[in-house]
Amino acid sequence: MGKFVVKETATGVKFDLKAGNGEVIATSEVYSSKAACLNGIASVKKNCVGEVEDQTVENVVTVKHPKFELYQDKAGEYRFRLKATNGEVIATSEGYKSKASCENGIESVKKNAPEAEIEE
């Protein structure tokens, strides 16, 4: 089962969502407080049911928020960002070499986030 790991940084507090195997699936922005970080986790749990908007294809079909945006970065790697109902980015992925791996990452967030425990 996955877990959210909350950790302090030099400038605030952030979380990583880790899969059962310990791999980081998604990361948050740096929040100014632990309370704000915990709200971010609650938002991921609530919004991870969104559909996927594949921005790597021609004629992108726009999907309502909440949603996962699948895109390619400047280095050509595939990434996703989870956007909440209000359009704010609440979690982002690492870069993946293949689109299939990125899609697996999205599925892993959908599977792990709703029941994930919080570890501080």
Reported as a single tens digit per residue, the pLDDT across 27-71 is 999 999 999 999 999 999 999 999 999 999 999 999 999 999 999
Q: How far is residue 53's CA from residue 83's CA, in Å, rounded to a whole number?
A: 11
Which alpha helices (H) appear in the chain, and where do they start and end?
A: 34-47, 99-112
- At residue 120, the pLDDT reads 92
In contact, 105 and 71? CB cutoff 8 Å: no
Q: Which CATH class is domain 3-119?
A: mainly beta
Q: What is the pTM of this model?
A: 0.94
In contact, 61 and 78? CB cutoff 8 Å: no
- At residue 94, the pLDDT reads 96
86: which 2 tokens?
A: 């209000």
pLDDT in tens, 94-116: 999 999 999 999 999 999 999 99
Under the banding of pLDDT at 50, 70 and 90, the label for residue 1 is confident
Q: How far is residue 91's CA from residue 43's CA, in Å, rounded to a whole number?
A: 10
Quick one: DSSP state of residue 50? P
In contact, 74 and 91? CB cutoff 8 Å: no
Distances (CA, A) of 84 to 45, 69, 75: 10, 11, 26
